[in-house]
Structure 1
Amino acid sequence: MKILIKVAGILTILISIAAQLTAFIDDSYTMGNIWFIGVLSGILTIISANKIHTNLKISFLLLIVSTVLGVISIAYLFILPGIINLIALLYLFIKNQPNNI
């Protein structure tokens, strides 16, 4: 799971930078010029991957924040990293549930 989350973070950073460099989100009225928040989202995702074994609550919170920031910053370009983040969030949520069967 740690590698999958790191891949999502790297993808977020690369997509944000590539979209800005190709002027895909440069002057868009729907997204604006906030590609750097996408890069911040990728960095938070990578930090979350590194914290997954030491502090699970912080990792869970960082994944939620990075997913929200990714959607705000690069919108529909965040589909693949967003799906990976949601899979990781579901995994962490299910992993923390007590077994009451």
Structure 2
Amino acid sequence: MKKSAMLGGALGILISVIAQLFAVVDDSYTIGNIGFLGMLSGVIGVIAGYQINKKNDVALVGLGIAIILGTIALSFLYLIPTILMIIPFVKVFNKR
């Protein structure tokens, strides 16, 4: 679970950076400006993934925020990181 959440966060950061680079090339700053929000959600996802075994409540809130912010920021581009973070989110939620 921990590795899946951290991988989802790291992949979210990578996809957000790539979206930013394509926005600079295409001069379409709509995805580029929101890409910063995607990077922020990736960082929150990595931190929440690290907290899974220590503080379940913090991890649950962090993963929820990361999933929602990433999906709002990059919509379909954030699909794989969302799936990778939903799996540990559901398992941590069921442990409570």
Question: Displacement of 1:86 after TM fit?
Answer: 1.2
User: Going by fraction, where is helix more abundant, 1 or 2?
Assistant: 2
Q: Cα gap change, 1:26/1:8 in structure 2, threshold over 3 Å: closer, same or farther?
A: farther
Question: Displacement of 1:93 after TM fit?
Answer: 1.2
Q: Cα gap change, 1:26/1:58 in structure 2, threshold over 3 Å: closer, same or farther?
A: farther
TM-score normalised to the size of structure 1? 0.85
Q: Which consecutive aligned stretches of 4+ in structure 1 deviate over 4 angstroms post-superposition?
A: none
Give the paired residue count. Answer: 95
Question: What is the root-mean-square deviation of aligned Cα atoms in Å?
Answer: 1.8
In structure 1, stretches of 5+ residues that fail to align are 97-101
Q: For residue 27 of structure 1, what is the amino acid of its counterpart?
A: S
Deviations 1:4-29 (A, max 9, x none): 11100010000000011022886265
Tell which has more relative contact order, 1 or 2 (C-alpha 8 A, sep 6+). Answer: 2
Q: For residue 49 of structure 1, what is the amino acid of its counterpart?
A: G
Matches within 5 A, 1:1-101: 1-23=1-23, 27=28, 31=31, 33-96=33-96
In structure 2, stretches of 5+ residues that fail to align are none
TM-score normalised to the size of structure 2? 0.89
